């Protein structure tokens, strides 16, 4: 049985979509999902050649280079998408995942986590909202969708990934606030909080490190599951979804009572280490 799609572009009314960090991994899966639902997708990535290669492979409208830390570049990408079709969706997926304790993360990595994981979605959302408002004012089309790839770690403390978790928590907070600020304009804002996804980001963490072990203690989510989970919220008032839901409940409990719950951390890390060894 085919999965019922909750949000598709009606025939005859094409809309464009921007996906950042879409040359590979979750971003490429999101771009593919949006194409399947009728969007004309602009695949963007810091690596222009990789973005274009992915665009050609999945049948996207175009590929382009885009540095998400540049506020002006966000508006330029929105304008580029509107040359394809009226902007219908902006997905801020680009992210980095440097692990390590707070006292170990380098200044360079700490700055990148904030500039890419937090400010990147913020600059993108501002550009998307500006485009949606201009389209509405000129009678082109009203409203649109903004999506953000956040993380399960946004919901509570994750030792060994504290800086990463803080950047994702900030992005999730921005999503929640923005969703309320623009909802009367027909603009809907959503975030997906996946558990560990077997991408380059997870594989790039320190082997056997605390962060990687805790991530692997849960259930690895596929890039396609994260993509459909996010896009399924388009057209709805739902602000965020966590995959899997049970891990979200644990992280929220940890956030409410970090002292008692974090006493379980060594056991969870051991589970993750065993899972990592079994995958070698």
- Hey, which residues are catalytic here? 164
DSSP 162-180: HHHHHHHHHHHHHHHHHHH
Q: How many residues does the chain have?
A: 280
Cα separation, 228 vs 206, in Å, equals 29
C-alpha dist (Å) from residue 115 to 18, 87, 108: 19, 24, 11
Cα separation, 64 vs 94, in Å, equals 14
Q: Quick one: 159 exposed, middle or buried, by C-beta within 10 A (0-12, 13-18, 19+)?
A: middle
**Beta carbons of 233 and 190 less than 8 angstroms apart:** yes
């Amino acid at each position: 049985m085919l999965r019922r799609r909750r949000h598709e572009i009606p025939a005859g009314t094409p809309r464009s979509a921007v996906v950042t960090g879409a040359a590979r991994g979750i971003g490429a899966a999101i771009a593919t999902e949006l194409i399947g639902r009728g969007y004309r997708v602009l695949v963007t990535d810091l690596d222009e050649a990789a973005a274009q290669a992915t665009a050609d492979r999945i049948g996207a409208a175009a590929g382009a280079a885009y540095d998400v830390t540049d506020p002006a570049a966000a508006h330029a990408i929105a304008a580029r998408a509107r040359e394809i079709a009226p902007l219908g969706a902006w997905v801020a997926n680009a992210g980095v995942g440097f692990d390590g304790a707070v006292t170990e993360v380098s200044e360079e990595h700490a700055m990148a986590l904030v500039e890419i994981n937090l400010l990147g979605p913020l600059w993108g959302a501002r550009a998307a909202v500006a485009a949606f408002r201009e389209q509405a004012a000129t009678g082109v089309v009203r409203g649109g969708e903004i999506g953000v790839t956040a993380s399960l770690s946004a919901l509570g403390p994750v030792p060994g990934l504290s800086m990463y978790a803080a950047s994702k928590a900030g992005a999730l907070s921005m999503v929640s606030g923005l969703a309320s600020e623009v909802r009367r304009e027909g603009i809907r804002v959503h975030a997906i909080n996946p558990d560990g996804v077997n991408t380059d980001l997870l594989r790039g963490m320190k082997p056997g490190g605390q962060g990687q072990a805790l991530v692997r203690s849960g259930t690895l989510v596929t890039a396609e599951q994260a993509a459909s989970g996010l896009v399924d919220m388009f057209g709805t008032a739902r602000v965020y979804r966590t995959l899997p839901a049970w891990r979200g409940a644990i992280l929220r409990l940890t956030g409410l009572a970090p002292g008692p719950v974090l006493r379980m951390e060594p056991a969870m890390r051991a589970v993750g280490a065993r899972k990592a060894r079994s995958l070698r």
